[in-house]
Amino acid sequence: MQLSWLPKAALLAGLASAVAADSSNSTSASSSGANCITIRHNFNNTNRIASVAAGNQIFPPPGLDYTAYDWTIDYGMNNIFFGATGGVMIKLNSTKALSGGDMLYPGGRMSTTRQMLYGRFSAKIKCSAVAGVLTTFITMSQVKDEIDWEMIGAQPTQGQSNVFYKGIQEFGKFGGVHTIPQAPQVSPTFSDYHVFTIDWKPDSITWLIDNVVVRTYSINDPLALSSTLEASTPYAGQPWFPNTPSLIQFSVWDGGDSSTSGVSTWAGGPVSASKCGTNFENCAAIYEWVDIQCYDGQGNEVAAWPPNTLPNGKDGTGPAWGSSAINTAVGAPPPSVVQAVSQNKTTASSKSAGAHVSASGLALGLAALLAVFSQAL
């Protein structure tokens, strides 16, 4: 069976703004409130994925229609690939670039356009097992409340949990290391897919791997209650517990080449290009799907929160693919392992205005694009 990966970058002449393409729609994600809907994202409809302006985008730009777009590509568009039958692969680029003063192998990140205040969030991921490469699945709020799953390539049998509050710099105190549980017919390593879950309620956070609870953290935990009492912080007396609407984000990034020794050591040391493979196919993670189950203010499962949250509407008209050849493949199994990667030898034409790629423009290079990232199973 031949399975393929399509690079979003190959279909766009350059980064185009979804805001400009859809500026007439005023349904933008609120910076102050949640707008969660319960849904599974298989990434098989790329019309609903927007490429935002270049830069380290944390939140969707004002004006982006969250009923028309489910996800944004925040950065690293050249390193993000979509399966013809669903799924997303993010890999490190094989050419280092300057980032924050360090020469790193660039990765990529995607974020939801909707914000969630409490919920159960899961992702089925095949993580990179190369030292120095980080695979992540996290929540992030505008004030930098954060709940993390981070998988370090140098530790391919473990996942690491963490929780941050209001962006206060603290490392090690609130983290946990968790062994992937044994399960029938599944390797407890990064050589196989695993489901990583964050279950966030108003008074507790639970981390799970393959539906097995590996950690629970309570707002009443002595650690949480004692952590922000210092008068040196603006949050004295508040528990160390995220309580603001957050995006779901996932990424692959190079931590091993950081000039900060603590980060580099934690990540497993510098990334070895030879271990990444000819086209860096080993320095990649595959996200098969992301599940979002919304909770209300009491932690009960609901279809949407708040109840007046607008449902999804029309598909996006900004940076999009719009190909029936892609969308009719829904239901076909996504890839389980990436073994070989073919170099992209095709440049597809697209509208320079950046609104969307025409069906005829896509068809010109479809056969070649289907071979960009391929594997034989």
Per-residue pLDDT tens for 21-36?
A: 333 333 544 445 789 9
The predicted structure's pLDDT at residue 151: 98
Lowest mean pLDDT among 2-11, 186-195, 317-326: 317-326
Six-digit token pair at 292?
């979002």
Kindly report, residue by residue over 249-265, the tens digit of the pLDDT: 999 999 999 988 789 99
* Whether the predicted pLDDT of 376 surpasses 50: no
Q: In 3D, which of 219, 202, 220 has the Cα closest to residue 298?
A: 202
CA distance linking residue 255 with residue 269, whole number of Å = 8
Are 198 and 149 contacting, i.e. CB atoms less than 8 angstroms apart?
A: yes
- Comparing 77 with 178, the larger pLDDT belongs to 178
Checking 214-220 for CB contacts under 8 A at 24+ apart, the result is 214/159, 214/161, 214/176, 214/178, 214/179, 214/181, 215/161, 215/176, 215/178, 217/163, 217/174
* Whether the predicted pLDDT of 327 surpasses 50: no
Write the DSSP assignment of 58-116 as a string of letters. Answer: -SPPTT-BTTT-SEEEEE-GGGEEEETTS-EEEE--SS-EEETTEEE---EEEEESS-B
Helix, coil or strand: residue 196:
strand
Are 91 and 107 contacting, i.e. CB atoms less than 8 angstroms apart?
A: yes
The predicted structure's pLDDT at residue 3: 40
Q: Average pLDDT for residues 349-355, to the nearest whole number?
A: 24
CATH code reported for the domain at 27-310: 2.60.120.200
Q: Would you place residue 225 in the very low, low, confident or very high pLDDT band (cuts 50, 70, 90)?
A: confident
Six-digit token pair at 173?
């105190």
Sequence letter at residue 353: A
Are 70 and 107 contacting, i.e. CB atoms less than 8 angstroms apart?
A: no
